[in-house]
A = this chain, B = another copy of it.
C-alpha cells in the first residue's frame, strides 16, 4: 500500500534536475526550500575542489544520497574498457570524498557488439571495481535503463536483468536503482521490485514522469503528474519491498531548465506531495 507523502523529509533532488545551477546554488536553494537531500551529478564537481564541495554540503547539513553517474563499461575496444574502469574508480573516490554512500551506474552499451557481450563486459567491470568500492565504503547501484537506450546507453533494460546481475555478483556493495521513467511500462515490474527488495538489492528510487507524447529521447522528461506514469503505485511497491530511502527527483527537461529554477523548485515540491 502506498503511504502518503505529507512532508519533504524523504525528498531528494538531483543536481541535473536544476541543471542551470552549480553545486553551491543547488545546495543553498534546495536547503532554503526545505529540501534536505541531494544527489550530485559529476558535472557540478568539475569546477570545484572536492573538499570545498564537502564543506558546502556540511554547512547546509545536506544529506548526499548518491553520486550520478558511473558506468559506460562496454566497448569493442579494450582501451576504452580500461579507461572506463579508471573513470569509475575516480567516481567512487568522488563519492567517498563528499560522503555519498552510493554511485549510480548507467552501465552502457556498444551497438557494434551484441547486448549479451555488452552485459558480460558490464559484469566483469563491476566485479573489477568491487574491491575499490568496498575499501571506499561506496555501493554501486546498477540502474536498468529504458529499452530505447539499448543501442548506446545501457544493455541492462529491465529490472529482471538488473536483478539477475546483482544476484550473480552477490555483494553487499552492489545493488540497484529503480527509476520509474525506465521501468514503468514493464508488466513484470511489481514482482521484480519484490524480488529486488527481498534480496537486499533495492538501493535507490528515482521519480519523474513520461510525457505523452515524448518528443526527445533524453531531455523531455516530465515532472511528476505531467505524464502517464502511476508513480504512487510504483512507490507503494517499492516501499512494500522494504525500501525506506529517499524519493529522488531526476528530471531532464529542456522545457523546465528554461524557466526560473527557484519557481521550478516550488513546482517540484508541489508535484512531490501531489503526484509522487
Interface residues on A, range: 20 to 34
Residues from chain B with Cβ under 8 Å of A230 in the complex: 114
Identical copies in the complex: 2
A147: interface (CB < 8 Å) = yes
Residues from chain B with Cβ under 8 Å of A185 in the complex: 115, 147, 150, 157
Contact residues of A: prevailing secondary structure: loop
Which residue of chain B lies nearest to A155 when distances are taken between CB atoms in the complex?
B185
Contact A148–B148 (Cβ < 8 Å): yes
**Most interface-central of A152, A158, A185 (chain B CB within 10 A):** A185
Residues from chain B with Cβ under 8 Å of A150 in the complex: 184-185, 210
Q: A187-B158, A187-B161 are in contact. Are A214 and B148 (CB under 8 A)?
A: yes
A228: interface (CB < 8 Å) = yes
Listed by A's residue number, 7 A-B pairs whose Cβ atoms lie within 8 Å are A115-B187, A147-B186, A151-B211, A158-B187, A160-B187, A214-B217, A215-B217
Q: Which 9 pairs, one residue from A and one from B, show the smallest C-beta to C-beta distance?
A: A111-B228, A150-B185, A111-B212, A151-B212, A147-B185, A148-B148, A151-B228, A147-B147, A152-B212
